[in-house]
Amino acid sequence: MSPAELIIRRASLDDTKNLIELGIRTFRDAFGPDNTSEDMEAYLASAFTPTQIASELADTTATFLLAYADEKLIGYAKLKVGKVPECVHGLKPVELERLYIEKGVIGKGYGAALMASCIEEARQRGYETLWLGVWKRNERAQNFYRKWGFSGVGTKEFIIGKDVQKDLIMERRFEP
């Protein structure tokens, strides 16, 4: 498969079940090896319920983009308008709250295509800054974001189960 075969579209409430399944799988793949199973299961049990995901999909301040390759859901992203950390100084910011790709297709260009779609979506909506939080121990993701012009501007806490972790806050400014 090549990125040209990728179809990216906005999610709807009809995508709740598939988004839950993909969200659990990709979050577990990304963070499971470095966290206790108790902390992971506690987080997943609250973050990926049908009620929680349906609520996020219905939220008018959020936009989910779904990535399909050969009609199979292989990734997703979530843009969210909301509270902005003080360390983010770019104008008109929007958060890239999530960007996940199936483990088996990482490195094939799908993450880059999804990121490009997120930037285009933000631009079309008039935003000038994209910011995100990435786990300080996730060097691979940090390197991916740096390639897209993001730079570190601060830190924030992220809680998985009972474990309080540090995320690096990164931002990228662009013209709308």
Question: What CATH number is attached to the domain comprising 103?
Answer: 3.40.630.30
Which residue ranges of the chain lie beneath pLDDT 70?
1-4, 176
Per DSSP, 150 falls in state -
Nearest to 155 by CA among 140, 147, 165: 165
- Identify whether the C-beta of residue 9 lies closer than 8 Å to the C-beta of residue 116: no
pLDDT at residue 5, as a whole number: 84
pLDDT at residue 176, as a whole number: 66
Residue 119 lies in a domain: yes
pLDDT at residue 1, as a whole number: 45
Q: How far is Cα 58 from Cα 63, in angstroms, rounded to an integer? A: 9
Residue carrying structure tokens 């936009």 = 63
- Predicted structure pTM score: 0.93
Q: How far is Cα 55 from Cα 19, in angstroms, rounded to an integer? A: 12
Residue 43 lies in a domain: yes
Residue 153 lies in a domain: no
- Identify whether the C-beta of residue 133 lies closer than 8 Å to the C-beta of residue 83: no
Residue 81 lies in a domain: yes
- Identify whether the C-beta of residue 127 lies closer than 8 Å to the C-beta of residue 84: no
Residue 141 lies in a domain: no
Q: Domain range for residue 54?
A: 3-131
How many domains are contained in the chain?
1
Q: How far is Cα 54 from Cα 97, in angstroms, rounded to an integer? A: 16
Q: Which residues are catalytic?
A: 145
Nearest to 88 by CA among 144, 34, 126, 129: 129
Edge-first strand order for the sheet with 129-135 is: 6-10, 62-69, 72-80, 93-101, 129-135, 163-173, 151-160
Instruction: Please provide residue 134's backbone torsions phi and psi, each rounded to the nearest 5 degrees.
Output: -135, 135
